Amino acid sequence: MPVLAINGGPKHVSEGAVKPWPPITAEDERLVLESLRSDRHAWGPNCDALQKEFAAWNGNKFCWTTNSGTSALHMCVAASGAAAGDEIITPAYSWTSSVSCILHHGCVPVFVDIDFATANLDPAKIEAAISERTRAILVVHLHGLPCQMDAILDVARRHNLVVIEDCCQAHGALYRGTKVGKLGHCAAFSLNQNKMLTGGEGGLFVADDEEFHKRAQALVLFGDFREPVAQVGYHAYGLAYMYRNNDLSAAFARAQLQRLDTFIADARTLAEAVTAELRGTRGLILPVESGECRSNWYNYLIRVDPAACGYTGLGEELREAVLKAMQAEGAPVGVWQRRILPEMGAIRARDAYGNGYPWSAGRAGVDYHPSQFPEALRHVNTYFILGCLRTPNTVETARLVAQAIRKVMENLGELDVAAVAKTADRSLYERGWKQQR
Ligand SMILES: Cc1ncc(COP(=O)(O)O)c(C=O)c1O
């Protein structure tokens, strides 16, 4: 029986075997150096070019490049026309930006549970969350897997709601053959370092409707573009932000964009190699991809199934022990969010900006008790991700990493889950809200 690395055995994946993301070529260096040697370091020609090139790549009419995906998401909320106190539906599990963008605009988030199988918003649960104040549904194509958009768009149409797509993780993912960012009214992409398309940092707002584009524009550069005095060079009609991108990041993203199709195709090949190696491993739930939803394989999502492992304790304790053992083997695995969004401090306190704002501008009665989102809770307690396993890594590396994961799962008896739980940071497991109800 092999001895696990965590117990002093040999590491399955040696140091340096997994190559970091993103791969840098002479074209990245050329474009970035050209930008550096120019005299345009704030907004510059590469920003204009990136907008055009990304819009063409994704099939959108309009695009703004921004300083982050978070700011592009805020622009989406502004573009939706929602006003203070209006409600926006968003999944109970995502990155914090999928809800902070709602709060930043003075709107009230209303959470909907996820579908455990996909970890994306459960369309069947949206209708019950709609009120007379609902203006938009913000969907998140999480881990690169598109949401079930037919059902979501159907609810939105029947209730006259705007659909915002958080595509920050999902560049090039397809729903019924259409790229994400083309399915709703407007969308946000991130360009941070982990993303399938990166500029180091940065973001992209896209839309096909000029009105959405114009409303988003008001947030990009101090409100300079806002009516009714659009001719004035600099004015402060709107309480806008400064969300524009810079030329160096845009130059880097433009160089990377030239290879984005290859990156996505390679990520699929590597994900398929991992699946082939892990299929049938007891205690693991592998990611799903249906006929209509094609992932870009941003993250390879795995859940630990405590029952299948014969473990009767807390799922999060088992997951933590398994994760530590896999990391000791050299597998690039991690947990991204350990909490669901309704557990965020500002949400629990119902106070983002003082004096109870933005809830003070909305209707009473929006309930955030985390126990309403059992699938999202089950998910955050049992998942881990294999992140950034992309080119220039090869199928051989993907297999090696998957074998390290399998080695741990096949030798669970060697793991002292209770000992890991004892030494772990208790705040990982404790949930203050349990005692509050
Ligand atoms: C789902 C999701 N939304 C929004 C963001 C925010 O993007 P950025 O980091 O570019 O602000 C991220 C970033 O990781 C994300 O994963």
Residue 186 CA, ligand 1 centroid: distance in Å: 16
163 within a domain of the structure (yes/no)? yes
Say which residue the tokens 């998401």 belong to.
73
Q: Are residues 306 and 221 in the same domain?
A: no
User: Could you give the CA distance from residue 294 to residue 144 in angstroms, rounded to a whole number?
Assistant: 8
Q: Are residues 301 and 254 in the same domain?
A: no
| Residue with CA closest to ligand 1 atom 8 | 69
Ligand 1 pocket test, pick from 90, 192, 194, 340 with the greatest ligand atom count within 8 Å of Cβ, gives 192
Q: Is-contact 120 140, C-beta < 8 A?
A: yes
Residues whose CB is less than 8 angstroms from the CB of residue 8 and which lie 6 or more positions away in sequence, other chains included: none
Q: Are residues 175 and 217 in the same domain?
A: yes
Q: What is the pLDDT along the chain (437 residues), one digit of tens a residue?
A: 789 999 999 999 999 999 999 999 999 999 999 999 999 999 999 999 999 999 999 999 999 999 999 999 999 999 999 999 999 999 999 999 999 999 999 999 999 999 999 999 999 999 999 999 999 999 999 999 999 999 999 999 999 999 999 999 999 999 999 999 999 999 999 999 999 999 999 999 999 999 999 889 888 776 655 555 555 555 555 567 889 999 999 999 999 999 999 999 999 999 999 999 999 999 999 999 988 999 999 999 999 999 999 999 889 999 999 999 999 999 999 998 889 999 998 999 999 999 999 999 999 889 899 999 999 999 999 999 998 789 999 999 999 999 999 999 999 999 988 888 778 777 766 776 664 43
172 within a domain of the structure (yes/no)? yes
Number of domains observed in the structure of the chain:
2
178 within a domain of the structure (yes/no)? yes
Residue 68 CA, ligand 1 centroid: distance in Å: 8
**End position of a domain, from candidates 212, 231, 259:** 259
Q: Are residues 106 and 75 in the same domain?
A: yes
Indicate if ligand 1 lies below 6 Å from the C-beta of 168.
yes
What per-residue confidence (pLDDT) applies to 435? 40
Residue 172 CA, ligand 1 centroid: distance in Å: 16
Report which ligand 1 atom has the smallest distance to the Cα of 194: 14
* Domain of residue 253, CATH code: 3.40.640.10
3 within a domain of the structure (yes/no)? no
Q: Are residues 166 and 219 in the same domain?
A: yes
What per-residue confidence (pLDDT) applies to 376? 97
419 within a domain of the structure (yes/no)? yes
What per-residue confidence (pLDDT) applies to 436? 42
**End position of a domain, from candidates 259, 289, 311:** 259
Residue 3 CA, ligand 1 centroid: distance in Å: 38
User: Could you give the CA distance from residue 113 to residue 380 in angstroms, rounded to a whole number?
Assistant: 12
Residue 340 CA, ligand 1 centroid: distance in Å: 15
| Residue with CA closest to ligand 1 atom 10 | 69
Mapped onto helix, strand or coil, the DSSP state of residue 206 is strand
Q: Is the dihedral of CA 142, 147, 153, 159 positive or negative?
A: negative
Q: Are residues 117 and 252 in the same domain?
A: yes
Q: Are residues 161 and 227 in the same domain?
A: yes
Residue 97 CA, ligand 1 centroid: distance in Å: 6
* Domain of residue 388, CATH code: 3.90.1150.10
What per-residue confidence (pLDDT) applies to 109? 98
User: Could you give the CA distance from residue 247 to residue 253 in angstroms, rounded to a whole number?
Assistant: 10
Q: Are residues 326 and 414 in the same domain?
A: yes
Residue 232 CA, ligand 1 centroid: distance in Å: 34
Indicate if ligand 1 lies below 6 Å from the C-beta of 166.
yes
Residue 417 CA, ligand 1 centroid: distance in Å: 32
315 within a domain of the structure (yes/no)? yes
Indicate if ligand 1 lies below 6 Å from the C-beta of 94.
yes
Report which ligand 1 atom has the smallest distance to the Cα of 98: 3
Indicate if ligand 1 lies below 6 Å from the C-beta of 169.
yes
User: Could you give the CA distance from residue 13 to residue 176 in angstroms, rounded to a whole number?
Assistant: 37
Report which ligand 1 atom has the smallest distance to the Cα of 195: 14
| Residue with CA closest to ligand 1 atom 7 | 69
* Burial label, 17 (beta-carbon count in 10 A; 0-12, 13-18, 19+): middle
Q: Are residues 82 and 96 in the same domain?
A: yes
Indicate if ligand 1 lies below 6 Å from the C-beta of 68.
yes
Residue 194 CA, ligand 1 centroid: distance in Å: 10
Q: Write out the residue range of the structural domain in which residue 64 sits.
A: 26-259
Q: Are residues 208 and 330 in the same domain?
A: no
Q: Is the dihedral of CA 423, 424, 425, 429 positive or negative?
A: negative
Q: Are residues 137 and 244 in the same domain?
A: yes
285 within a domain of the structure (yes/no)? yes
What per-residue confidence (pLDDT) applies to 98? 94
98 within a domain of the structure (yes/no)? yes
What per-residue confidence (pLDDT) applies to 425? 74
> How many CB atoms are located within 10 Å of the residue 85 CB?
16
**End position of a domain, from candidates 259, 291, 308:** 259
What per-residue confidence (pLDDT) applies to 437? 33
Indicate if ligand 1 lies below 6 Å from the C-beta of 60.
no
User: Could you give the CA distance from residue 187 to residue 202 in angstroms, rounded to a whole number?
Assistant: 14
Helix (H) or strand (E) holding 284: strand 284-285
What is the Cβ-side half-sphere exposure of residue 375, based on CA atoms within 13 angstroms?
17
Question: Residue 391's closest CA among 220, 289, 301, 273?
Answer: 273
Residue 101 CA, ligand 1 centroid: distance in Å: 11
Q: Are residues 152 and 228 in the same domain?
A: yes
User: Could you give the CA distance from residue 264 to residue 250 in angstroms, rounded to a whole number?
Assistant: 20
Indicate if ligand 1 lies below 6 Å from the C-beta of 22.
no
Phi then psi dihedrals of residue 10, to 5 deg: -70, 145
Residues whose CB is less than 8 angstroms from the CB of residue 258 and which lie 6 or more positions away in sequence, other chains included: 27
Tokens of 316: 């999060």
Indicate if ligand 1 lies below 6 Å from the C-beta of 175.
no
Indicate if ligand 1 lies below 6 Å from the C-beta of 190.
yes
Ligand 1 pocket test, pick from 120, 169, 198, 299 with the greatest ligand atom count within 8 Å of Cβ, gives 169
